[in-house]
Amino acid sequence: MREIVDKIMAYPYPLRFALWHKLRSKQRGFTRQHYYNCVVRAAAEAAALGHEGLTVVEFGVASGQGLLELERICSYVEKTAPVRFDVVGFDTGMGLPPPTDYRDTPWKWQEGWYDMDVGKLKRSLARAKLVLGPVAETVPRFLAEGLSSPMGAIMFDLDYFSSTTDAFGIFSQSRAEDRLPRIFCYFDDLGSIEDVGVPRAIADFNAAHEAKKVRQRMYWRDLRDPYALPWKIYEFHDFRHPDYMRPVRKQKQT
């Protein structure tokens, strides 16, 4: 163990920070390694860009287990990270809405699934803000109210093409100062062909935006850890963001 720690500490920041927390996460027993990896990478990038705060988001809260885990992860990372977290969860509060058309893959999902006990969840949350209602309405309202820290990690678990497309307003409608130039994303529901479901929402977004893209990013070190679900980790890039070309890594000393 001592040798592993020494090797990690030899890396420059922020890579040192990300590798250290990847090791510690397994010891802490977090149930959503993919959430943890996104949060740690976002925290490292935010710190490298000089931000003291970071907003992390979950779309599709349902019973709230993911949002509660996100709270635990952020509270743990804050102990050593030079940033503090704002946690936000978006959900209808009433389960899945009716599907709009075939792109929502209605043979897989049904209206009313994944409903929420709103009162119980609110009593359980320690720090997260719960935003209830159709995301097509709540995302613009949330952005208009302003953010206290830029967004850096977003977990998408909305099942539908239509809901995911509406949630992408978090990218297309937000101001550059309200997000990092790169946002680490987790997509839960990728088990469809590109013509329907979440893959279709991603493809349509990329086709509609020249300078903003959502692309899959496979980190070789994650491939050895299937619990991290590396094939479901994507990155949002805003090529015209004023900080996009600012360095976030230092030269590794050999």
| Encoded tokens for 149 | 């820290």
Sheet holding 53-59, edge to edge: 129-132, 84-91, 53-59, 151-156, 179-187, 233-238, 212-216
Q: Are strands 212-216 and 233-238 parallel, antiparallel or unpaired?
A: antiparallel
Q: What is the pLDDT of residues 29-66, one digit of tens each?
A: 788 988 999 999 999 999 999 999 999 999 999 999 99
182 band by pLDDT with thresholds 50, 70 and 90: very high
Strands of the chain (E only): list them: 53-59, 84-91, 129-132, 151-156, 179-187, 212-216, 233-238
Name all domains of the chain by residue range, CATH numbers in brackets: 2-238 (3.40.50.150)
- pLDDT of 53: 97
Q: What is the pLDDT of residues 77-108, one digit of tens each?
A: 999 889 999 999 999 999 999 999 999 999 99
Q: What is the pLDDT of residues 191-246, one digit of tens each?
A: 878 999 999 999 999 999 999 999 997 655 555 555 566 788 999 999 999 999 99
User: Rounded to two decimals, what is the model's pTM?
Assistant: 0.86
